[in-house]
Chain A
Amino acid sequence: MERILVGKHSLLNSSPRWLRAAAMGLLFAVAFAGTALGQDVPVSGTVTNAAGAPIAGVTVRVQGTDIRTNTDANGNYRITAPASATLTFAHVGSKPFTAGVGGRSRVDVTMTNVTYLEEVVVTAYTEQRRADITGAVSSANVDEAKKQTQASVLKALDVAVPGVTVQTSGSPGSRSTVRIRGISSFQNNDPLYVVDGTAVSDSYINFLNPEDIASIQVLKDASAASIYGSRASNGVVVIETIKNGPVGPPRATIRARTGVATPTKGYDDILLTSSLDYFQVLKQRYINAGQAVPTGVYGDPNNPSIPNYYYATPSSILTKDAFGRIVTVDASKYSYPNALIEPASAGTNWWKTVFGSAPVSDYNLDVRGGGEANAYAVSFNYFDQQGTAAYNDYRRGSVRVNTSFNRSKFNFGENIALSVARHYGGTGTFDDASGENGVLGKDILIQPIVSVYDVAGNFGGGKGVPGVNSSNPLKNAFDAKDNINKDNQVFGNVFAGLDITPAFSLKSRLGFNLQQNSFAGYSAITPQNNEASFSNSVFENNYQSTGWGWSNTARYLKTISKGSLDLLVGQEASAGTNRFLQGSIANLLNTGLDSRYVQDALGDPTTKNVFSFGGKNALMSFFGKAGLNYADKYVASFTLRKDGSSNLGPEHRWGTFPAVGLGWRISNESFLSNNRILSDVMLRYGWGITGNQNIPSGRIVSQFGGGRGDTFYDITGSTSSIQPGFRQASIGNPDLKWESNKSTNVGTDLSLFEGALNVVLDVYKRTTDNLLFDPRTPATAGIAAPPIVNIGKMQNKGFDFSVGHQASWWNATFNGSHYKNTILTIDGVQTFFYGPGGTRIGNPTINQLGQPIGAFFGFIADGFFRDAADVAAHATQDGAAPGRMKFRDVCCGPKGEMVPDGKIDNSDRTIIGSPHPKFTAGLDLGAHRGNWDASATIFGTYGNKIFENQMDFYVFQDFSSNVRKDLLANSWTPTNLNAKYPRLDITDSFSGAISSYYVKDGSYTRLRNMQVGYTLPSGARYLPGARVYVQGENLFTKTNYDGLDPAIPAGNNTGAAGDVRDQFLGVDVGVYPTNRIFSIGIVTSF
């Protein structure tokens, strides 16, 4: 273990130490300066409603800071604030209120009731009052989302917004797969993110410090999103950062949080950790198969024992026992890497060897303020989360500067973020890659007899243990500890606006996104493996992308006597280029960090390989929107957008995306006025079309190419030189056109009992047509990538709702959603195609007409054969025998009809489950008493299935992996007919076929976050007004899933037409488990 600690220690002490020191130094400096800078005065007052009754539980906050308090049962509050500060009063059900302190010591406030329809939210290009929104737009509870200790705010979006699902792993800094209202296409289903008006396609959003976020709006239907027409078919997430602070002198706020993460569950909870227990399983497998039990490792099957060594280089072996096991060795003959000696272990707990607790810290400093004509918000963030897996670490530093200036009728400014992220560690930890040889794949299932270290203290391995082809997972992690993924990003925009008249304004915004990503990796030799490799290599790559978007809008907003008119016209152009360069070389002479470069002299020059590729795309758009409001009763909006895309055929480049929205604020009708139950009722209807052109560029023409390992050939028989060859790489389609997504949404916003209960309910249907994808062509057409065509059709139907209640000292919001995804058309001929992810046992997912995308596909497992009579009575099945899996005969009759035909074959495979949840729910709870506050967030998903592919290893023991603790006790025997597992049998290669046996209920309910905070009284001697808190994340999970973690991210899978991970959902190939994090934090302003 010492080795690991040393390793981790050195990791901590490596390069960004200065960054950490700087961050801490800065925080302390500012903290101490704080007391000197502040000119705070105590302020108190009473909050009452229009009827004069006190309101309890109003959040009183010093604007732009985190200094806040709540009113007590009598509506009284006390807070310390700068004499020039502005206080904000917030209470669900009341209209937000602001009041300047203006040197007063008592500020009494009267709040009026509003529903949430009075909120103003930033949607597309403009701000809108909720009551004017006819589409499905949800606001995320940003304050709650920020409580999650994550590099990206996206990871908490599922609980914060109904209708949104997020798949993510416990790997720090990893991807968030966000899906809004189901899945609309066979590939590329990430929503569009719009950050401060600049669109970005990025599934991590790690450049954005969650603490900088002011609001997140999710545009869920076409009538809301079609203004972003071209890229909006998967929904739009509109994120606005905090732009200003309170008017007056700068206010600084420090937010610091530090904690410890541990995995929520480990494989050591599931798998054997004793070598002799493992042997008993092995033994039974051979005995049941009628074969001799191997004796080479455990000796006498009736009296098994742990050998001294399971492998030693022949020259070092001194004595062997009667079973040929090595008893004594001559350790002086040991030599790395060619002469190893591997001691046996009585039981290695591989999980604990690799996984453990890891620190996480998040430091923020922001300074915000402004005057009449300017506003600014500057922030600095340092986030460092070590993975719970060894040698895995994510660090980010970011700086944001948001400024805006008004001068006469002009306003201009910029929002810019610079972020630098470093991710250390091997593959399979960062991008949710599903590689089985990663730290989280099959290797972690290595047998307990394998030792972590050999006799000389080098990493041990499975060499000499029959069948083990896993690598030592700690060695995997160690070898990759210096693999570094660097992300440098500049993201932001500059803008200028002109208010020509009070009603008519112009705005121009230039957004940019400059990214530089590089990776440097190393593969070490693995002499201690059965499948030993003595060849090392380095590879590195560099990716640069430049994207920009320029939007120009004109808005006319006129309020007339009984209503308002809101007109917007605009134009937008965006373009991007990217370039990727990769190089590798093998057999480095010196493997030290300083020698890991791709240079002829450093390794074997004949192994050097370099290549590059790139991409380009451009979009051009024109759009307009009209909003009408009559008497605050009738609302209508019309949107039209025209987009041109470089990815599509010249004749079909331009697409038109209309949308209509209608709203009726029925509560403003006279017949409902003064209704005490229905305080506010809005009915909404929206219809619209959004588009999608997100496919690889250049697919309108056929592409030709080749590769050394694909088309090149040694025609001369030289044995070492090849001649170039070419083939068609892809088939072009000049007729590529826009994929369109029609959506209809009916919703209502309800405010009941004078705002005590707020309900938002939406029901929708979304149909994607002309779906862009690359249906498979017959092999007789060759392996060239099939043309991408507009042919599929997919539908999502569902509903989402949210119910909120605000009591005097507590509040609760419940979000729920449901979607049903159905494939309506594939290519007009095919009724199915398989998903992308092959596993060792075949392909478990299928896309079939009438079924959801990525359904599980295989045999139906009907328990185990009872006896020979049962075998005889059953349809003919390969390898049928008592105790083996029995598959159901479902097909086919002579004309392909679904009737049993007496044999189990290909045609008997059928849909055996869906990875899609039937219902997902989020619950936010909050309470406060005096200076104490508490909150909790619960997330649940129900009815989704998991294909537990890891069973191939820990039940069926593929590659002699470790097995489940209860495998021996719960396997079929003639006296245990209803066992959990089939009969142990080393010759049974049949029971493990893909079947419903692997399909498990993936439902779970998880306490995502629980936080208790205490706000120091304003009169406190130290840190007055500061809030300190303790929090726990993922403390509790209720699930029936018996694998590692039911929260399974969609593994990275890419097809010729893009990201196809949605076709491989819910397949458990070894996921980085969710972290349980305990942390403490402080927020203080001055």
Chain B
Amino acid sequence: MTTVSKKPLLRGAAVLILAIAFLYGCKDFLSNAAAPQGTLNQTTLANRAGVEGSLIAAYRTLDCTDQTENFGWGCAASNWVWGSVPGGDSYKGSDIGDQPNINDIEGYHWGSPLASDYLNGKWIIVYEGVVRANSTLRLLKQVLASSPSEFSSADAKAIAGEAIFLRAHYHFEAWRMWGNIPYYREDETDFRKANEDSSAVAVDLLKDLDSAIKLLPATPRNGDKGRASLWTAKAYKGRVQLYDHQYANAVTTFKAVVASNTYGLETSFDQVWTAFKSKMDGPETIFAFQASSKDGEPNAGNANWGERLNFPYSPSHFACCGFNPPSQNLVNAFRVDASGLPLSLSAPTTWNASDSDFKAGNLTPVDPRLDWTVARKFVPYKDWGLYDTTFVRDPANGGPYSPKKTIHEKASGAEATVGWQPQQQSSLHIHIYRYADLLLGLAEAEVETGDLAGALAIVNQIRARAGVTAQGCAAAADNNVAATYPQCAGDARLAVPINDPKITWAVYRINPYPSFPSQAYARAAVQTERRLELAAEGQRFFDLRRWGTVAAEINGFITGIGGGAEKNRRGFLAGAEAITARHRWYPIPAIQISLSQVAGQASLKQNAGW
């Protein structure tokens, strides 16, 4: 090293150090590493694609959004946790330890920590829907201001209309759960504001729906079946009016929708809940969650995630999970009298007396909708072969039945191919609002406004359609139907006339009401028809609440009605909390009340009694 003099080295070292200091001392070194990687930013989205994408995301929350967030199953589009189970249409099912949160909802212990967790999941998702709708509106406004030519005025109006409609829908979901809720529009930034009284929410809902009606086109934009049109919003307006007991207004609104001939009943009941692509989104669909499978999503997250527990257990094809099984009470409700009318009306003290498994071969006459709604032992299970009670996960806990409406048909090819238990995932669309629901809403309003003839016509129209078909053999080479029912060999028909001679597992009978002799009778008939037609569609509890009959019906359901009591059928219901005034609304999730604090004071007020 003697050949190298010391001074240049010293100088070199000093220069090097200074160079380093300046090189990295400059601002860019840090700034260059500051940008987030692999994300979009607000500017990227400030255009047509951004607005449309934001709107798509607002539709997506109709079902559990993003299964990885683990909101539980309480955000299912069908509302089975909040409408069917506490309404007495179904039990939680599975075994007692599984999803114990729903035990507390089923037992009306809504003040428990576990119930609060589930309520929180629902709350989060409905408000996420609101946030996405409002984001769309804000982005739209921004894009229209900066580049007005990005949208035609028709599109701009329609997009705003869709977003406002969706915002109303999500608020409606929150409203019928909790009543007193905060209402958020696109210009609001105070996310800790107080909740409104439920009557004020109704005003807000109708205001938004009226705006949406003004903005929306008469047919869904771009012909997309999933989008809201003016008639969707109008139908929804009637629904809100009905929930708000504005019967005369509801009649007007509903009649306008009916008169528009936009919607109609499916010709056969099997086409209402179906996974056959050709039959989905038919005339009866007003608004539905457009589930999709085989769409490249690696966990089949768009394929009815909210319903995935509601399939029979092993060794059925579906293998899991045994939730939401129809109750014995619901099955008994499908029994009819000699004239083909609901036994619950003509024999109010005995219709519910049977505790036994209502299985194939029991020839007590029933409404044919029973076998489109409830899976019963040895009755063909759509086209999956015979349903068997060995498919039940824990019969003592869930009873012998399984759901049927939301089960996809094998031949539909709608089943997913990926994810955990892909056989429980399908593209069957979930009705959020269907035309029969609207018609029965009209009938309900007509009864209250004294138009019994109008109500009678609607109820009989519904019953006439229900009487068109029943579950057929649907026998195929790979299922066991023909082995038990030899007459079925070679008969692959899924739906057959209700008196088809091949049917030996049931006797179906359904007839129109000759008349509604009184308002009370008409009311009972409409309410019964609603239960049968919309059974297991997540409506029952909300219907009972609207009718003001929750306490009577649910306490009867548990402790005894029509000659039967569920507490004797399902032991755990003996521990259910009696329905009292506080069950008028679900409690607002405790954590959200806590998060609403401003200066130590919670802005959200808990519902009475909780």
Does A41 have its Cβ within 8 Å of any Cβ on chain B? Answer: no
Distance (Å) between the CB of B378 and the closest chain A CB? 13
Does A562 have its Cβ within 8 Å of any Cβ on chain B? Answer: no
* Measured CA separation A500–B16 after assembly (Å): 15
**Contact assessment for A506 and B396 in the assembled complex, using a CB-CB cutoff below 8 Å:** no
**Contact assessment for B112 and A715 in the assembled complex, using a CB-CB cutoff below 8 Å:** no
Q: Which of B31, B319, B418, B572 contacts A987 (CB 8 A)?
A: B572
Inter-chain contacts of A286 with B (CB < 8 A)? 396
Q: Tell whether A646 pairs with B31 under 8 Å between CB atoms, given A719-B280, A726-B50, A878-B107.
A: yes
**Contact assessment for B417 and A714 in the assembled complex, using a CB-CB cutoff below 8 Å:** no
Query: Of residues 125 to 157 in B, which have CB atoms within 8 Å of A's CB atoms?
Result: 127-128, 130-132, 135
Q: Tell whether A703 pairs with B39 under 8 Å between CB atoms, given A535-B418, A777-B191, A958-B97.
A: yes
Q: Which of A409, A508, A698 contacts B36 (CB 8 A)?
A: A698
Q: Which of B53, B131, B291 contacts A782 (CB 8 A)?
A: B131
Distance (Å) between the CB of B261 and the closest chain A CB? 21
Q: Which of B57, B191, B393 contacts A780 (CB 8 A)?
A: B191
Q: Which of B6, B120, B226, B397 contacts A716 (CB 8 A)?
A: B226
Inter-chain contacts of B123 with A (CB < 8 A)? 779
Interface string of B19-39 (1 = CB under 8 A from A): 011001100011111111111
Q: Of A511-519, A705-713, A764-772, which stretch is located at the interface? A: A705-713
Query: Of residues 587 to 610 in B, which have CB atoms within 8 Å of A's CB atoms?
Result: 590-592, 594-600
Does A16 have its Cβ within 8 Å of any Cβ on chain B? Answer: no
Q: Of B60-68, B79-87, B460-468, which stretch is located at the interface? A: B60-68
**Contact assessment for B314 and A532 in the assembled complex, using a CB-CB cutoff below 8 Å:** yes
Inter-chain contacts of B298 with A (CB < 8 A)? 584, 586, 607, 609, 708-709
**Contact assessment for B56 and A711 in the assembled complex, using a CB-CB cutoff below 8 Å:** yes
Query: Of residues 603 to 650 in A, which have CB atoms within 8 Å of B's CB atoms?
Result: 604, 606-609, 612-620, 622, 644-647, 650
Inter-chain contacts of A535 with B (CB < 8 A)? 417-419, 422
Distance (Å) between the CB of A137 and the closest chain B CB? 28
Interface string of B543-564 (1 = CB under 8 A from A): 0000000000000000000000
**Contact assessment for B319 and A612 in the assembled complex, using a CB-CB cutoff below 8 Å:** no
Q: Tell whether A714 pairs with B128 under 8 Å between CB atoms, given A463-B315, A645-B30, A780-B184.
A: no
**Contact assessment for A878 and B45 in the assembled complex, using a CB-CB cutoff below 8 Å:** no
Inter-chain contacts of B277 with A (CB < 8 A)? 718-719
Q: Which of B34, B45, B104, B130 contacts A704 (CB 8 A)?
A: B45
Inter-chain contacts of B21 with A (CB < 8 A)? 552, 571, 622
**Contact assessment for A711 and B60 in the assembled complex, using a CB-CB cutoff below 8 Å:** yes
Query: Of residues 87 to 109 in B, which have CB atoms within 8 Å of A's CB atoms?
Result: 95-98, 100-101, 103-104, 107, 109
Does B394 have its Cβ within 8 Å of any Cβ on chain A? Answer: yes
* Measured CA separation A646–B66 after assembly (Å): 31
Closest to B223 in A: A716
**Contact assessment for B37 and A714 in the assembled complex, using a CB-CB cutoff below 8 Å:** no
* Measured CA separation A613–B31 after assembly (Å): 19
Q: Tell whether A779 pairs with B127 under 8 Å between CB atoms, given A573-B24, A715-B227.
A: yes
**Contact assessment for B41 and A703 in the assembled complex, using a CB-CB cutoff below 8 Å:** yes
**Contact assessment for B34 and A647 in the assembled complex, using a CB-CB cutoff below 8 Å:** yes
Query: Of residues 300 to 324 in B, which have CB atoms within 8 Å of A's CB atoms?
Result: 301-302, 313-315, 319-321
**Contact assessment for A719 and B30 in the assembled complex, using a CB-CB cutoff below 8 Å:** no
Distance (Å) between the CB of A1056 and the closest chain B CB? 11
Interface string of B195-232 (1 = CB under 8 A from A): 00000000000000000000000000011111100000
**Contact assessment for A618 and B130 in the assembled complex, using a CB-CB cutoff below 8 Å:** no
Q: Tell whether A606 pairs with B290 under 8 Å between CB atoms, given A715-B59, A841-B100.
A: no
**Contact assessment for A702 and B302 in the assembled complex, using a CB-CB cutoff below 8 Å:** no
Does A1086 have its Cβ within 8 Å of any Cβ on chain B? Answer: no
Query: Of residues 308 to 343 in B, which have CB atoms within 8 Å of A's CB atoms?
Result: 313-315, 319-321
Distance (Å) between the CB of B312 and the closest chain A CB? 11
Interface string of A900-923 (1 = CB under 8 A from B): 000101100100000000000000
Inter-chain contacts of B41 with A (CB < 8 A)? 701-704
Distance (Å) between the CB of A574 and the closest chain B CB? 9
**Contact assessment for B30 and A779 in the assembled complex, using a CB-CB cutoff below 8 Å:** no
**Contact assessment for B57 and A713 in the assembled complex, using a CB-CB cutoff below 8 Å:** yes
**Contact assessment for B132 and A727 in the assembled complex, using a CB-CB cutoff below 8 Å:** yes
Q: Tell whether A700 pairs with B295 under 8 Å between CB atoms, given A410-B1, A838-B70, A840-B100.
A: no
Query: Of residues 459 to 503 in B, which have CB atoms within 8 Å of A's CB atoms?
Result: 480
**Contact assessment for B97 and A604 in the assembled complex, using a CB-CB cutoff below 8 Å:** no
Inter-chain contacts of B40 with A (CB < 8 A)? 703-705, 726
Inter-chain contacts of B128 with A (CB < 8 A)? 779, 782-783
Inter-chain contacts of B45 with A (CB < 8 A)? 704, 726
Does A291 have its Cβ within 8 Å of any Cβ on chain B? Answer: yes
Q: Which of B10, B292, B421, B590 contacts A533 (CB 8 A)?
A: B421
Q: Which of B107, B120, B417, B597 contacts A830 (CB 8 A)?
A: B597
Q: Tell whether A530 pairs with B96 under 8 Å between CB atoms, given A606-B296, A725-B54, A994-B113.
A: no
For the complex, count residues of A whose C-beta is within 8 A of B: 132
**Contact assessment for B224 and A989 in the assembled complex, using a CB-CB cutoff below 8 Å:** no
**Contact assessment for B97 and A722 in the assembled complex, using a CB-CB cutoff below 8 Å:** no
Distance (Å) between the CB of B543 and the closest chain A CB? 26
Interface string of A677-718 (1 = CB under 8 A from B): 000000000000000000001111111111111111111111
* Measured CA separation A719–B427 after assembly (Å): 6
Q: Which of B33, B281, B313 contacts A617 (CB 8 A)?
A: B33
Distance (Å) between the CB of A612 and the closest chain B CB? 7
Does A842 have its Cβ within 8 Å of any Cβ on chain B? Answer: yes
Distance (Å) between the CB of A695 and the closest chain B CB? 12
Inter-chain contacts of A706 with B (CB < 8 A)? 53, 57
Closest to A285 in B: B96
**Contact assessment for A550 and B292 in the assembled complex, using a CB-CB cutoff below 8 Å:** no
Q: Tell whether A986 pairs with B127 under 8 Å between CB atoms, given A720-B295, A879-B107.
A: no
**Contact assessment for B575 and A990 in the assembled complex, using a CB-CB cutoff below 8 Å:** yes
Does A850 have its Cβ within 8 Å of any Cβ on chain B? Answer: no
**Contact assessment for A714 and B302 in the assembled complex, using a CB-CB cutoff below 8 Å:** yes
* Measured CA separation A717–B24 after assembly (Å): 55
Closest to A989 in B: B103
**Contact assessment for B100 and A613 in the assembled complex, using a CB-CB cutoff below 8 Å:** no
Does B294 have its Cβ within 8 Å of any Cβ on chain A? Answer: yes
Q: Which of A550, A554, A705, A708 has the most CB of B within 10 A?
A: A708
**Contact assessment for B130 and A956 in the assembled complex, using a CB-CB cutoff below 8 Å:** no
* Measured CA separation A719–B304 after assembly (Å): 11
Q: Which of A614, A719, A878 contacts B414 (CB 8 A)?
A: A719
Interface string of A1018-1058 (1 = CB under 8 A from B): 00000000000000000000000000000000000000000
Distance (Å) between the CB of A416 and the closest chain B CB? 22
* Measured CA separation A552–B568 after assembly (Å): 81
Closest to B58 in A: A725
Does A201 have its Cβ within 8 Å of any Cβ on chain B? Answer: no
Closest to A312 in B: B315
Does A467 have its Cβ within 8 Å of any Cβ on chain B? Answer: yes
**Contact assessment for B112 and A878 in the assembled complex, using a CB-CB cutoff below 8 Å:** yes
Does B260 have its Cβ within 8 Å of any Cβ on chain A? Answer: no
**Contact assessment for B321 and A959 in the assembled complex, using a CB-CB cutoff below 8 Å:** no
**Contact assessment for B96 and A464 in the assembled complex, using a CB-CB cutoff below 8 Å:** no
Does B69 have its Cβ within 8 Å of any Cβ on chain A? Answer: yes
Closest to B30 in A: A646
Q: Which of B37, B60, B394, B414 contacts A713 (CB 8 A)?
A: B60
5 CB-based A-B contacts, threshold 8 Å: A466-B393, A699-B36, A710-B66, A710-B68, A830-B595
- What is B's interface to A at a CB cutoff of 8 Å? 1-2, 6, 9-10, 13, 16-17, 20-21, 24-25, 29-42, 44-45, 50, 52-60, 65-70, 95-98, 100-101, 103-104, 107, 109, 111-114, 116-117, 120, 123-124, 127-128, 130-132, 135, 182, 184, 191-193, 222-227, 277, 280-281, 290-299, 301-302, 313-315, 319-321, 393-394, 396-397, 414, 417-423, 427, 429, 480, 571-572, 574-575, 577, 590-592, 594-600
Q: Which 10 A-B pairs have the closest CB atoms?
A: A698-B36, A709-B301, A782-B131, A717-B225, A958-B97, A725-B56, A725-B57, A714-B292, A618-B33, A711-B57
Given contacts A726-B57, A727-B54, 10 further A-B contacts (CB under 8 A): A550-B20, A575-B29, A607-B417, A616-B34, A712-B60, A716-B226, A720-B292, A728-B135, A729-B39, A782-B127
